[in-house]
């Protein structure tokens, strides 16, 4: 009687199982979908309510957002910086892009001096397109 040779057990598989690769791709996709919105927001701020019209449309590449928290810290591009460092960065950007819009998000519990210092120094440097935003008020009759 002929015995099976061991040669058959050493044959390599020529098929690639892509199921684990697809599982990994879907998990990564889900992770990126969940974390992407979290990257847009730098600080958890309580913006004051405002009323008024919406402004003209501006390209997203022309906007630099500065956030001010109640502890007196400034955040530009998700980096905590001093006021002087923020102004240097904004000045460099303004020199390269005269359409720069400085969008300021200040917590309603932050000291007013923090906001006014930033506004005054931006205007002294020639940045005239400054936006201070808040949450819209609910419509009350």
Q: Could you confirm whether domain 58-136 is CATH 3.30.420.270?
A: yes
Cβ atoms of 115 and 29 within 8 Å: the answer is no
Given the DSSP bridges, would you call strands 63-68 and 74-76 parallel, antiparallel or unpaired? antiparallel
- Taking only the tens place, the pLDDT of each residue in 43-100 is 677 777 766 655 556 688 888 889 998 888 899 988 899 999 999 999 998 888 888 8
Using DSSP's 3-state secondary structure scheme, residue 94 falls into helix
Average pLDDT over the chain, rounded to whole? 80
Give me the pLDDT at residue 109, please: 86
Other Cβ atoms less than 10 A from the Cβ of 71: the count is 12
Other Cβ atoms less than 10 A from the Cβ of 122: the count is 22
Stretch 136-141: mean pLDDT, rounded? 62
Give me the pLDDT at residue 89, please: 92
- Domain residue spans of the chain: 58-136
Cβ atoms of 68 and 104 within 8 Å: the answer is yes
- pLDDT of 27 higher than 90: yes
Query: Sign of dihedral through CA atoms 62, 66, 67, 68?
Result: negative
Whole-angstrom distance, CA of residue 108 vs CA of residue 78: 19
Higher pLDDT, 17 or 91: 91
Stretch 118-123: mean pLDDT, rounded? 89
Give me the pLDDT at residue 39, please: 67
């Amino acid at each position: 009687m002929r015995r099976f040779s061991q040669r058959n057990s050493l044959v390599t598989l020529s098929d690639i199982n892509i199921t684990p690769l697809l599982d990994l791709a879907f998990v990564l996709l889900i992770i990126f979908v969940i974390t992407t919105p979290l990257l847009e927001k730098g600080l958890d701020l309580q913006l004051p309510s405002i009323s008024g019209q919406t402004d003209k449309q501006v390209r997203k590449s022309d906007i630099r957002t500065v956030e001010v928290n109640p502890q007196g810290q400034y955040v530009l591009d998700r980096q905590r910086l001093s006021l002087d460092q923020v102004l240097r960065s904004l000045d460099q950007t303004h020199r390269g892009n005269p359409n720069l819009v400085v969008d300021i998000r200040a917590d309603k519990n932050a000291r007013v001096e923090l906001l006014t210092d930033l506004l005054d120094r931006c205007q002294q440097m020639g940045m005239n397109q400054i936006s201070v935003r808040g949450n819209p008020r609910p419509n009350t009759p």
